[in-house]
Amino acid sequence: MSTALDTTPAPSRTLRAVNPLSGEPFGPAFALTTPAELEALVLAAAKVAPEYADTSGEQRGAFLRRAATEIEALATEIVAAAMLETGLSEVRLRGEVGRTANQLRLFAGIAEEGSWVDARLDRPDAARKPAPKPDLRSLLVPLGVVAVFGASNFPLAFSVAGGDTASALAAGCPVVVKAHPAHPSTSALVAEAVQTAARECGLPVGVFSLVYDDGFENGLTLTKHPAVRAVGFTGSRSGGLALIKAAQERAVPIPVYAEMSSVNPVVFTEAALARTDAAQLAASISGSGGQLCTQPGLLFVPEGAAGDRFVSALGQAIAGVAACALLTPGIQAAYRSGTAAYAGHGDVTTVQGQEAENGLYHAQLYQTTLEAFQTAPELTHEVFGPVSLVVRYGAVDPLTATLEGLEGQLTATLHADPAELPGLSGLIAALRERAGRLVLNGFPTGVEVGHAVVHGGPFPATGDGRSTSVGARALLRFSRLLAYQDFPDEALPPALQSGNPLGLLRVQDGEATRDPL
């Protein structure tokens, strides 16, 4: 018998997409990123981090604008791949391409204008007694390498070139993205667009890279890697908590900006019921298969005849919604389990509860009483997908107390006549304390990407309720404060120089101005 060692390389582990209808793998095989490859990518990002941090706002803006253009140029291919991998409609996905490009251009503009660094200058006073006052100047600077996890429910806008990636790159941080295993081809196409943009803009290799994994190993490795300085994550509560735990157990803990679970409560007053469009609410519940982080999963409806009519109309509207594909086997299993728990609960009645057929899932609606809801904490848990639980209430005070017991949410919505608002101050305060965005007489699905939006919320909606993952403030997550004391002007970054060569809006001796010091 030969004792020679077998030097044949082990076959590469690969990943293929899974058809959301059939559950069968399809399409090209993508090699999973090996530990050695992952280490090389992170070290390359860390190596170029200082150089990329020193790029100007104009350079970063040009990069992000070029990335948007490259993604738009590949839109047809990207949409075709995403339709097969997610089961989402062409209309939805083309809209998501547009949102992704617009986000990149939004952050390009923020980087180019530059005032986001919050430059502050305090004049020195050598004659001040009992001690001289120093020259102090501060600004926000990039954190360093950021790891981003692609989301299953937004294969574009919260994925490879989504808001986390765009905001981190705008802040001056290299990004390593972990592609979601549900849509590898979509991820590859978008990564190609971003890498082309980086190359055409003369940026060093390592500013942006993509890794593949079919589980949790590479994600945990990224989170624990000492060169990674922050994490952006959109996904399940269990996944987010695992990353937060890993980040906190590091020798040097880092922030994990994790968007996790939210049931997005909606409260109706009796006066608002007659003018609330049940069909629009049904569309908000079921849109994109109900697989939106702002989907309204909990509806508080008054008791009585008006409430009965509204719930009946909503049930009919839900029944008329076409069955849909759910994104992944995991989401499908969780939806079946969650809706079965509603249907089998002794204090819950089924308004609409059609079974899945041919791999497609129907929107569902269930109902319970406020009293039962107060004693059944399991009814407060998110069921991700096209389903809502109606909770019937009698008086406002018990409802307010119930709302005060809810976990943190991305959104909270109130349907009421404006004249009722002064009398609902306690209820509004309860909603405000538990949400990142309050909506009046509207529906929470549909997040406007802009400068004022907040897409965050108290735990467990997000791991850190002080931030937003959508909109202009998102890049603040990937920066830190740095102060310079008594440095000569020529040794300061341009944003802090006395002449204000960048024309930034700065705070000088406590006053906001674009004037030189």
Alpha carbon distances (Å) from 110 to 54, 55, 455, 495: 16, 14, 18, 14
259 catalytic residue (yes or no):
yes
* Catalytic choice (70, 85, 96, 259): 259
Q: Identify the CA nearest to 326 among candidates 362, 294, 297, 365.
A: 362
Taking each helix axis from N to C terminus, what angle separates 57-73 and 184-200, rounded to the nearest 10 degrees?
Answer: 140
Q: Identify the CA nearest to 201 among candidates 104, 115, 116.
A: 104
Six-digit token string for 270: 């009796």
Q: Strand 479-485 vs strand 136-142: parallel, antiparallel, or unpaired?
A: antiparallel
Three-state DSSP class for 178? strand
* Catalytic choice (293, 324, 355, 378): 293
d(CA 306, CA 415): 14
Q: Residues, the chain, total?
A: 517
Q: Strand 256-259 vs strand 298-302: parallel, antiparallel, or unpaired?
A: unpaired
Task: Kindly give the residue spans of alpha helices, DSSP state H, lying in 201-255.
Answer: 217-224, 237-248
293 catalytic residue (yes or no):
yes
Six-digit token string for 382: 């998110």
Prior bond to 50 cis, omega within 30? no
Prior bond to 460 cis, omega within 30? yes
d(CA 134, CA 126): 7
- The residues assigned a catalytic role are 259, 293
